[in-house]
Structure 1
């Protein structure tokens, strides 16, 4: 820009001094340069802010893990209708996407997520649990009246949109058991944003 200003200014001068419209030409060139510079700076600021926001989304960390009972021992169920399991003992909740009051994980951003859940029951009891996405079952586990204790687990990778909800649900007329060993648990994390 300085070079253009000098080149423009040189054409205004001759041996006798500045030409009559020299001040006008230099002023016009300076104004154009100022507006061009201002425009380029504003564009750069906007681009930088956009990249910073994009980087924040890409660097968002989301992970949680929770056990069914806060402490002690007990079971959930049997119930007459499917029941969302609310995992009270939160081991980790990075990104605060899991709600220990509802048992629901809400995706904070679009991405690929991994979920795993474990369920346990004592002998002679039926246990069946499904993992659901927005009220649609995705995968399940069951143990139908085992002779000894029953354990089951399942895991899944899901593509989620921001706001999608994931939770586990106890089937009707079944139950799960938990104690301080955390036999029944639910975990998930963001693999990468999309």
Structure 2
């Protein structure tokens, strides 16, 4: 009888060890929840990737823009990157597809004896400027920053009145931006 009890205990021990311990079940449930959360996060961010990089001139020889009698929109024709298709090379406008924080940069380059200057504009409001004036050397100026945008807000670059910028296929004058995160 004693041998039978020991054998029964051994069989019971083997059966119990074949069943996953309670901790393993909880870990498996946690892993399943993490996988579900990851899938949900991936579906939330799908299609919400936004980034663009542009320069003024797409082809041909170098070109100087300006001076003009009024602030003038710059239309960046060479599109190196346009993930999310939020930048329009026809208008020079970036239109935010989602509410979120975006980062923008502009780099401008111009000939001597003229101001080289531009504004970054959000919905017709001048947000920040880049400016340089050189009498004997080519000028360059840059500026950038992060903006909170609502879906549909428009960001563009304006050439200052009486200022000039230059670009050629070396891409000296550029405008770029990307979505940092949605809100």
State the alpha-carbon separation in 2 of the partners of residues 168 and 112 from structure 1: 18
Determine the structure 1 residue equivalent to 2:146: 157
Distance in structure 2 (CA, Å) of the matches to 1:158 and 1:145: 30
Per-residue CA distance 1:28-62 (angstroms, 9 max, x = gap): xxxxxxxxxxxxxxxxxxxxxxx96x864534100
TM-score w.r.t. structure 2 length?
0.74
The yes-or-no answer on 1:61 pairing with 2:28 is: no
- Is the Cα–Cα contact under 8 Å of residues 112 and 133 in structure 2 kept in the other structure? no
1:118 aligns with 2:107: yes
Which residue number corresponds to residue 82 of structure 1?
A: 71
Residue pairs, 1:30-179, within 5 angstroms: 56-59=43-46, 60-71=48-59, 72-179=61-168
Matches of 2:51 and 2:75 in 1, distance apart?
17
Runs ≥4 in structure 1, deviation > 2 angstroms?
54-59, 144-147
Q: Cα offset for 1:75?
A: 1.1
* Greater Cα shift, 57-66 or 104-113: 57-66
Cα-to-partner distance string for 1:13-32 (whole Å, 9 max, x where unaligned): xxxxxxxxxxxxxxxxxxxx
Give me the CA root mean square deviation: 1.7
Q: Contact conserved, 1:118 with 1:152, CA < 8 A, in 2?
A: yes
Residues 72-97 of structure 1: CA distance to partner in whole angstroms, max 9, x if unpaired?
21011111111110000000000000
Q: Say if 1:116 and 1:146 are closer, same or farther in 2 by CA, change over 3 A.
A: farther
1:178-189 counterparts in 2 under 5 A?
Answer: 178-189=167-178
Give 1:162 shift.
0.1
Counterpart CA distance in 1 for 2:120 and 2:44 is 26
CA deviation profile, 1:128-170 (whole Å, cap 9, x unmatched): 1000100101110111244211011101100000000000000
Q: Secondary structure of the equivalent of 2:146? A: strand
Contact 2:111–2:164, Cα closer than 8 Å, also in 1: no
- Residue 35 of structure 1 aligns with which residue? none
Stretches of structure 2 that go unaligned for 5 or more consecutive residues are 1-38
Distance change (3 Å), C-alpha of 1:141 and 1:63: same
Distance 2:125 2:106 in 1: 16
